């Protein structure tokens, strides 16, 4: 399922226009993104938790020149931890 299909499902479920469904999905993604940017965490009970994690810098190998070492800088990456209800649903409980 992609973003447009999700918006369509939301619009259908709540008897909204497709445009309104798209706006709901856009608002949710913007809210999660801005919360993670400000080092916050978004928890949807039963579904999971979105958070941001700092991946440490490290020394890597240049793929174009395998003998050359390069410094890879630290970077903040998104993280998702599935909730118990989601895990159980996928296990078939």
pLDDT one-digit tens code per residue, 36-83: 999 899 999 999 999 999 999 999 999 999 999 999 999 999 999 999
Q: Is the pLDDT of residue 91 over 70?
A: yes
pLDDT of residue 92: 81
**Are the C-beta atoms of residues 46 and 84 closer than 8 Å to each other?**
yes
* Bridging pattern class, strands 75-82 and 48-55: antiparallel
Per-residue CA distances from 90 to 8, 46, 60, 85, 87 (Å):
23, 12, 36, 9, 5
pTM of the model: 0.79
SS3 81: strand
CA angle (16 as vertex; 31, 86 as ends), nearest 5: 50
pLDDT of residue 24: 96
């Amino acid at each position: 399922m992609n973003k447009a299909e999700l918006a369509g499902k939301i619009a259908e479920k709540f008897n909204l226009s497709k445009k309104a469904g798209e706006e709901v999905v856009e608002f949710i993604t913007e809210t999660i993104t801005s919360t993670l940017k400000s080092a916050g965490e978004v928890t949807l009970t039963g579904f999971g938790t979105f958070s941001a994690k700092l991946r440490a810098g490290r020394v890597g190998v240049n793929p174009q020149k395998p003998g050359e070492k390069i410094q890879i800088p630290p970077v903040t990456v998104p993280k998702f931890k599935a909730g118990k209800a989601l895990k159980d649903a996928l296990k078939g409980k």
